Amino acid sequence: MSVKSYIQKVKAACNRDTEGEVLFSERSVNFYLVDPLTSEILEDDHPLKGVKVKGKALVIPSGKGSSVVQLDGLYQLLTHDNQPSMIVVRDPDPVIVSAAIICDVPIVTGVSDEFMSLTKRGGSLDLNCQRKELTLIEPGAENK
């Protein structure tokens, strides 16, 4: 049985290759409202409330919150080794990009709407920093 994968050339700020299980959200994540000790999203009305971001390839539409809120929240996750493996953002802004760079969390932009839509089904993402390529591996293929 063949494994389906999709490769997208992207813009990425990273210094290492990384991978992670897709954690897709239609709504942005405010990192200040993620528990740094458990990596669980705490935001009351967020569809991913209670879901852990640690080691995940977090796919979000945009950043959310001020520079202090984003940077401090991501930094607190980093100090407890609970940060996402990467952040993939459809509509980047300077706040989310700079917070990720400062906290050494690979951040990916320039992803097509089609590729973003494919991530809704889950699977895993593999980021090659040197080639600036993001590969989506279909759900379940990781275990084949």
Question: What confidence score (pLDDT) does residue 90 get?
Answer: 92
Say what the pLDDT of residue 11 is. Answer: 94
pLDDT value for 144? 47
Whether residue 70 contacts residue 41, with contact meaning beta carbons closer than 8 Å, is answered with no
**Model pTM greater than 0.75?**
yes
Alpha helices in the chain (DSSP H): 67-79, 94-102, 113-119
Residue among 3, 127, 116, 117 at smallest CA distance from 56? 127
Residues carrying an active site annotation: 66
Q: Encoding tokens for residue 40? A: 């669980």
Q: Does domain 5-143 have CATH number 3.30.565.10?
A: no
Per-residue pLDDT of the chain (144 residues; tens, 9 = 90+): 566 889 999 999 999 999 999 999 999 999 999 999 999 999 999 999 999 999 999 999 988 777 677 889 999 999 999 999 999 999 998 999 999 999 999 999 999 999 999 999 999 999 999 999 999 998 875 554
Helix axes 67-79, 94-102, angle to 10 degrees: 30
